[in-house]
C-alpha cells in the first residue's frame, strides 16, 4: 500500500485516472477582516489583448493588509485549500465549493489548467514540450464545459479567490514527463498556459461572453506542477517571471515554510491517517491511493468508512498544527467524484470544522496561497526563523508569549 513518503508517485497516478482525464491575540475573521466594496465610482473596465481578460480594478473581498506579529503574539492558524485543474465538467463541484467558501468566509487557490480554456477542435495550437503536438494526459473539455469553466473562474476571482496555474497537459510518465523538462521547456509551457487563458476569445470565437475580470500577467504568482514533478527546473523560470511561491514540493512536514530558489516553498504535507501508523499526503488522490489502491470506483460498501477516515485525516492535521506549532496547513484537491464523491464530502466537513473553531475564538484564517505569502512577506525574519525551529507537533517552550517575546528587533 502506498505511503506518504512516496508522495510524488501517488500523485503521478492522476495521469492515468479516467475521472481526471474526463475532466493576533484577538481572533480575526477569516481570511482576515475583509474590505467592504467601495461605494465610490468603479474604475472603467479596460480590455486586455483580444478582450479575453480585462483590468477591472482591485480584486474584491480581500483581507486588510497584513501586519507583523507583535512580540509574544501567537501566529494565526492559516489553512489553504487549493484545487488542481479547476475545470467544471458538469458535475457541479466548482460552484459547490465556491458556495461553501462564501458560506464560511474562506478564500482558496484555484490552479487552472490552461487547456481547460482551449476547445478540443483547437488542440493542435498546443505544443507540449517533449510530446506530440496536441497531446495531453488530461482530457480536453467540451465547448459547454469550457464555457462553464470560464464562468466559474470569473466568479472565483470576483469572490476573492486566487487563480494560479496547473500548466497544461499534465504529463507525468515517460520521456516527455514534466519531471524531465528543462527550464526552457517550462517557459514554453508557462507561456502557452497564459496564452490559453488570455486568448480564449480568439481561440473559441465566443464574442458574446464577458472577459475574465483580471490581468493574468499580474494575477499569476504561483503554481503547482503536475504530479508534484519538475520543481527544480521550474524554479529558475518562475523566479525570472516574478512568481512568489511554488506549491509543488511533495511530502512536506507540518512546519513553518522557508524559501527555495527565491520562492516560498509551500508543499503538500504529511498528516495523520486514522487507523494507520503511517501518514498520508494532504491531498484527496493520496488518500484514494491508500484506500482503494488507485481505483476511483471501488465497492460502495467502503465509502462511509473511507469518507470518515479522509475527513478525520484533514481534521487531525489541522488540529495538530493548531494545538502546537501553528504551522500553516495546506490541502490539495481535484474536482472529481472519485469513489462516490467521498473526498469532496470530506473537504466540506473538514472546512466546516475549521470554520467552527474560528467561531469559537481561535484565530483560524482560511486563505489563498497568495494571501498567505502576503502575510509571510511582512513578518520580521527573526520571527519566521524562530517559528521554523518548531518541529511537527511541537509546542513553543513556555508558551507563545515567552517564545516570541524577544523578536521585536528589526534585522
What does the block give as the cell for 189? 509551457
Query: Cis bond leading into 31, ω under 30°?
Result: yes
> Over 50: is that where the pLDDT of 32 sits?
no
**pLDDT bucket at 44, cuts 50 / 70 / 90:** confident
Whether pTM exceeds 0.75: yes
The correct answer on CATH 1.10.1040.10 for the domain covering 4-23+59-403 is no
pLDDT the model gives residue 236: 97
What does the block give as the cell for 42? 468603479
Mean pLDDT (whole number) for 191-217: 98
Contact 100, 348 (CB under 8 A): yes
pLDDT the model gives residue 29: 40
Mean pLDDT (whole number) for 78-106: 98
pLDDT in tens, 139-165: 999 999 999 999 999 999 999 999 999
Residue 39 in 3-state DSSP?
Answer: coil
**pLDDT bucket at 135, cuts 50 / 70 / 90:** very high
> Over 90: is that where the pLDDT of 192 sits?
yes
What does the block give as the cell for 79? 489553512
Rounded-to-integer distance, Cα 294 and Cα 289, Å: 4
pLDDT the model gives residue 23: 38
pLDDT the model gives residue 7: 43
Rounded-to-integer distance, Cα 217 and Cα 210, Å: 18
Mean pLDDT (whole number) for 79-95: 97
**pLDDT bucket at 12, cuts 50 / 70 / 90:** very low
Q: Return mean pLDDT, the chain.
A: 91
Contact 206, 143 (CB under 8 A): no
pLDDT the model gives residue 40: 56
Mean pLDDT (whole number) for 155-182: 98
Rounded-to-integer distance, Cα 55 and Cα 152, Å: 18
Residue 110 in 3-state DSSP?
Answer: strand
Mean pLDDT (whole number) for 67-88: 97
Amino acid at each position: 500500500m502506498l505511503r506518504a513518503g512516496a508522495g510524488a508517485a501517488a500523485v503521478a497516478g492522476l495521469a492515468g485516472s479516467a475521472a481526471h482525464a474526463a475532466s493576533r491575540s484577538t481572533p480575526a475573521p477569516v481570511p482576515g477582516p475583509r474590505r467592504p466594496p467601495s461605494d465610490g465610482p468603479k474604475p472603467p473596465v479596460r480590455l486586455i489583448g483580444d478582450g479575453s481578460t480585462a483590468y477591472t480594478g482591485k480584486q474584491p473581498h480581500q483581507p486588510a493588509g497584513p501586519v507583523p506579529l507583535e512580540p509574544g503574539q501567537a501566529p494565526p492558524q492559516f489553512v489553504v485549500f487549493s484545487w488542481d485543474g479547476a475545470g467544471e465538467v458538469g458535475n457541479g463541484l466548482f460552484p459547490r465549493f465556491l458556495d461553501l467558501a462564501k458560506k464560511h468566509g474562506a478564500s482558496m487557490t484555484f490552479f487552472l489548467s490552461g487547456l481547460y480554456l482551449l476547445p478540443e477542435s483547437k488542440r493542435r495550437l498546443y505544443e507540449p514540450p517533449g510530446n506530440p503536438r496536441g497531446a495531453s494526459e488530461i482530457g480536453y473539455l467540451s465547448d459547454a464545459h469550457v464555457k462553464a469553466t470560464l464562468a466559474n473562474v470569473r466568479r472565483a476571482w470576483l469572490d476573492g479567490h486566487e487563480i494560479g496555474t496547473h500548466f497544461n497537459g499534465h504529463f507525468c510518465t515517460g520521456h516527455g514527463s514534466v519531471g524531465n523538462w528543462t527550464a526552457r521547456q517550462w517557459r514554453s509551457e508557462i507561456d502557452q498556459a497564459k496564452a490559453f487563458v488570455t486568448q480564449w476569445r480568439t481561440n473559441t470565437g465566443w464574442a458574446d461572453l464577458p472577459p475574465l475580470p483580471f490581468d493574468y500577467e499580474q494575477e499569476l504568482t504561483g503554481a503547482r506542477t503536475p504530479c508534484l514533478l519538475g520543481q527544480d527546473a521550474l524554479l529558475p523560470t518562475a523566479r525570472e517571471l516574478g512568481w512568489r511561491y511554488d506549491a509543488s514540493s511533495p511530502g512536506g512536514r507540518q512546519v513553518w515554510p522557508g524559501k527555495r530558489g527565491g520562492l516560498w516553498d509551500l508543499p503538500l504535507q504529511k498528516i495523520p491517517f486514522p487507523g494507520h501508523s503511517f501518514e498520508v499526503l494532504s491531498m484527496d488522490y493520496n488518500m484514494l491511493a491508500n484506500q482503494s489502491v488507485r481505483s476511483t470506483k471501488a465497492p460502495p460498501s467502503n465509502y462511509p468508512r473511507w469518507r470518515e477516515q479522509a475527513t478525520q485525516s484533514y481534521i487531525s492535521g489541522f488540529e495538530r498544527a493548531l494545538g502546537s506549532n501553528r504551522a500553516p496547513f495546506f490541502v490539495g484537491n481535484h474536482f472529481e467524484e472519485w469513489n462516490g464523491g467521498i473526498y469532496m464530502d470530506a473537504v466540506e466537513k473538514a472546512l466546516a470544522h475549521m470554520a467552527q473553531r474560528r467561531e469559537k475564538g481561535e484565530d483560524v484564517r482560511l486563505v489563498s496561497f497568495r494571501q498567505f505569502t502576503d502575510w509571510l512577506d511582512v513578518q520580521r525574519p527573526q520571527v519566521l526563523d524562530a517559528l521554523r525551529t518548531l518541529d511537527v507537533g511541537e509546542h513553543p517552550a513556555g508558551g507563545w508569549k515567552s517564545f516570541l517575546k524577544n523578536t521585536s528587533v528589526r534585522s
